[in-house]
Amino acid sequence: MSQTDNLSFRGVERLFKTIEKLQQRLNPTLNIFGVLPTQYNPRNLHDNETLERVRLGLEPRQIHMFEPVNRSTAYDKASTEGRPTLEVAPNTPGVQVYYTVADALIERYAPVPS
């Protein structure tokens, strides 16, 4: 999910429908690891309402929603420089969420050493 606004939410709903069709027609084992809301502003009522709608929409599908990444100009600055935010501004709020997602992916998909 790119943003916690209404149009992004509608896009996610369409993406889920597309994934469900793919599961039925081509790949029944295809699954969604989780959803990561970004560009979230906790002071914005609309962002909070949309985030809650996403959360409610994911519950019946049993899809994990990670904590949202708050909006920060540090992400824009890093993008402009063509460098990762971790390099440009490693202490930016929200960067830790990306570490959480990476850790969850490693935990689930990395081979267990023998």
| Residue pLDDT, tens place only, 10-40 | 888 888 899 999 999 999 999 899 999 999 9
Pairwise pLDDT comparison (92 vs 111), residue with the higher score: 92
In this prediction, residue 22 carries a pLDDT of 95
Question: In angstroms, how far is CA 102 from the centroid of its own chain?
Answer: 12
Least confident of 5-19, 44-58, 97-111: 5-19
Q: What share of the chain is helix, strand, coil (3-state, %, to 5)?
A: 55, 5, 40
| 50 close to 9: Cβ distance less than 8 angstroms | yes
The confidence band for 1, taking pLDDT boundaries of 50, 70 and 90, is low
Enter the pTM of the model: 0.83
Q: Which residue is listed with tokens 């990476």?
A: 102
In this prediction, residue 68 carries a pLDDT of 95
